[in-house]
Amino acid sequence: MLTILPRTSVTVLLMSLIVSIHTSLLAGCSSQKAENNNSPVAITKSDSANVVAPTSFVLPSGNIYCALVGVKRDSLRCEIRSMLNPMPPQPDNCEFDWGSGFLLSQQNQAEILCISDTIGGSDYTLSYDSTWTNAGFECKSQTIGLTCKNSNDQGFFLSREKWDVF
């Protein structure tokens, strides 16, 4: 008999399999370990310097999506299909489209995107009430919106109804 599992169950099963395989591979290494903390980011080195996590994600609604960008993947770009509400004024020196999201560097305050392209979606869905961490960034997905920040606690809140930079 064939049983079809919901997408969430398949994701959990795949993450568990990855953790099991990674744990087996690292078992002989004294300087590394893998631990399952039941979050989307389940594999870490013991010194927490390097986190293995997806480099992009989309919220369950499909309206907000984010990706690490840049040659060194040292910035976080998050876009919202429904655009920022209210629409901000056009940023200085912006010759392209603006108001579709934010760019957050590892050290500075979030900036309104001025872009001529899109990062599109992602194969990884960040469930509501889950946290994604990678490259010094942390994003918390909630039904009310997405909050992302860098290691300096600078970041943004993004939803259909409102946005804020902090």
Report the chain's mean pLDDT, rounded to a whole number. 78
Q: What is the DSSP letter of 159?
A: -
**Residue 6, preceding peptide bond in cis (omega within 30° of 0):** no
Give how far the C-alpha of residue 165 lies from the chain's centroid of Cα atoms, to the nearest Å.
17
> Has this prediction a pTM greater than 0.85?
no
Any idea where the domains of the chain sit in the sequence?
Answer: 7-52, 56-165
pLDDT at 52: 64
pLDDT-derived band of residue 5, with 50, 70 and 90 as boundaries?
very low
Say if residue 23's pLDDT is above 60. no
CA dist., res. 50 & res. 53, Å (int): 9
Per-residue pLDDT band at 53 (split at 50, 70, 90): confident
Would you say residue 8 has pLDDT above 50?
A: no
